[in-house]
Chain A
Amino acid sequence: MTWLADHWGEVWTLLLQHVWLAAVPLVLGLVIALPLGWAARRWRAAYPVLVTTSGLLYTVPSLALFILMPLILGTRILDPINVVAAMTVYTVALLVRSVADGLGAVPEDVRAAATAMGYKGFRRLLAVELPLAIPVLTAGLRVAAVSNVSIVSVASLIGVAQLGNLLTDGYNRAINGELITGIVACVLLALAFDAVINAVGRILTPWTRA
């Protein structure tokens, strides 16, 4: 506790950095996964291809992906963009399946009813199918958020600052207070992400509580 009291400012800066590195890929990943998941649903042949590819992407170990990103993007190794890009890859890999399965879980009679009421194509997707897929999407996002918060901390090994710095520095200099602060901050941040996504999901689906 004394360690935290003495380093409050530093922890706060790293926390904000961590939030940024975990949240931006979550949003980017969702934006990319939505059309891909829709395509996986729309064309029967696309589903196995997209789901297998995203599974393979998720297989790549995080430290390896961070290190290989400069090779793919042409960035410098210390550039935080590498971490954002790598985390976006993982988020997309997790969410493509959620989007596809969420859209697939929309009951056929609901879709037929929407069509009968005059909803067509893109409007039906936005106004009927996507809202009904929100519970499945929320579940996917929660998994992605918790895993992102944990994986981002690994980026301290390649020198990108966030809460993982407390872990690495606490270990290197054997400062228990710093290490514990880092672990607790990461867990709390993961829980906070989880709670926020859950709350947003509930607000967006008032009919589930009717």
Chain B
Amino acid sequence: MIPSIWAWLTSPENWCGTFGIANRLAQHVGYSLLVVLIAAAIGIPLGLWVGHTGRGRWLISAANAARAVPTLGLLFALALWVGPHIPGRAAFAVPSIIALVLLAIPPILAGTYAGVGAVSPAARDAAKGIGMTPQQVLTKVEIPCALPLMWSGLRSAVLQVVATATIAAYIGLGGLGRFLIDGLAQADYAQTAGGAILVCLLALAVDGLLALVQRLVVSPGLSGRARTRREIVLASGKDGAPGDVAHSTSA
């Protein structure tokens, strides 16, 4: 069993061409990226608004309750009811993309809302006290402080999308899921398992990458790496004013 999977994964003709692994991988990444960008464009502003103003909390409850809807059912319902209204080849891709966006919004929305909600009132008041406008409070204090939770919401959305995009191959979406679905239909276990291994590797790689980016974008004052930064500030002496040092440690 394992040698045949290995043979499938390593044979050069399986990697090339429109139906090859390389192209399927690019499709999978492309669709996932598109979906997450759309979902983030909707979920992040909405979460910030609910978290900042405290209004519309029902949106969060609704998004959480929506997680009980089976992903497979959502995909099939959209394919059956939306697909026929869309002309041409897009009839396969558009229902999948809508379903994936709907699945990706709840974790992003919940993460953003929880992140903004968890910002300490003291930090918010201090920002107001030093004369920041509401918009500055949002962009300079609330968003940076909310970033760890926002990012973990984004990470779970990305994983959800990569996993569900695999299943969406059943309703005609391209991507690595084709190997799993087509392999099952053709009772070709080498192809099915080879595809499954590729999907696992992709999910792990993407999650690892997001974890790395998280280390880069989260403020050192929040991630507990402030001390290193303070040492750098002190050592370089570039922004060596006492106020700066105090600021970076208290953040």
Seen from chain A, the residues whose Cβ lies within 8 Å of a Cβ on chain B are 55-56, 58-65, 67-68, 71, 77, 146-147, 149-150, 153-154, 156-158, 163-164, 167-168, 170-171, 174, 176, 179-180, 182-183, 186-187, 190-191, 194
Chain B positions within 8 Å of A59 at CB level:
159, 200, 203-204, 207
Q: Is the CB of A167 within 8 A of B200?
A: no
Q: Which residues of A contact B112 (CB under 8 A)?
A: none
- CB contacts (< 8 Å) of B72 on chain A: these are 150, 153-154, 156-157, 164, 167-168
Q: Would A61 and B76 count as touching, CB distance under 8 A?
A: no
- Chain B 192-215 near chain A by CB (<8 Å), digits 1 or 0: 110111011001100100000000
From A64, A146, A171, A186, contact of B80 by CB (8 A): A171
CB pair B166–A167 under 8 Å, yes or no, is no
| Neighbour of B68 across the interface among A60, A149, A156, A174, CB < 8 A | A149
Pairwise interchain contact A153-B73, C-beta atoms closer than 8 A: yes
- B interface, size bucket: 35 or more
**Does any Cβ of A come within 8 Å of B189's Cβ?**
yes
CB distance from B73 to the nearest CB of A (A): 4
Assess whether B76 is in contact with A171, with CB atoms less than 8 Å apart: yes
Chain B proximity of A143: nearest CB distance (Å): 9
Q: How many angstroms from the CA of A64 to the CA of B167 in the assembled complex?
A: 9
User: A179 contacts B200, CB within 8 Å?
Assistant: no
Are A64 and B70 neighbours in the complex by a CB distance under 8 Å?
no
CA distance in complex: A61, B207 (Å): 12
Contact for B193 among A60, A68, A163, A191, CB less than 8 A: A68
Cα distance, A148 to B36, chains bound together (Å): 23
Question: Are A183 and B77 closer than 8 Å at their CB atoms?
Answer: yes
Q: Which of B2, B166, B181, B204 has the most CB of A within 10 A?
A: B166
Taking CB atoms, residues of chain B closer than 8 Å to A61 are 162-164, 166, 199-200, 203
How far does the alpha carbon of A168 sit from the alpha carbon of B185 in the complex, in Å? 14
**A160 to chain B: closest CB distance in Å?**
12
Q: A187 CB to closest chain B CB, in angstroms?
A: 5
Q: B76–A170 contact, CB under 8 A?
A: yes
A27 to B159, alpha carbons, bound, how many Å?
A: 25
